[in-house]
Amino acid sequence: MSFEKLVIGLYEPVQAHKAISGLWPIVKPWIISEHRLHLEVRQQKRNDRQNRALHASITDISKQLEWAGRKRDVTTWKRLLMAAFLRARGEHLEILPALDGHGVDIVFERTSDLTVAECSEFQEYVYAWGSSHGVKFSAPEPK
Residue 141 resides in a domain:
no
Contact 135, 127 (CB under 8 A): no
Q: Are residues 78 and 126 in the same domain?
A: yes
Number of domains comprising the chain:
2
pLDDT confidence of residue 141:
53
- List of residues 6+ apart from 121 with CB closer than 8 A: 85, 89
Q: Are residues 68 and 127 in the same domain?
A: yes
Residue 45, φ and ψ in degrees, nearest 5? -80, 170
Residue 64 resides in a domain:
yes
Q: Are residues 73 and 96 in the same domain?
A: yes
Domain that holds residue 94: 48-132
Residue 57 is part of a domain; what is its CATH number?
A: 1.10.3790.10
pLDDT confidence of residue 40:
80
- When pLDDT is averaged across residues 33-52 and rounded to a whole number, the result is 83
At 67-126, the pLDDT tens digits run 999 999 999 999 999 999 998 999 878 889 999 999 998 887 788 888 888 999 999 999
pLDDT confidence of residue 100:
94
**Considering the chain, what percentage of its residues have pLDDT values greater than 90?**
50
Alpha-carbon distance 141 to 113, whole Å? 21
Q: Are residues 119 and 59 in the same domain?
A: yes
Residue 139 resides in a domain:
no
DSSP E strand boundaries for the chain: 66-67, 70-71, 94-97, 104-107
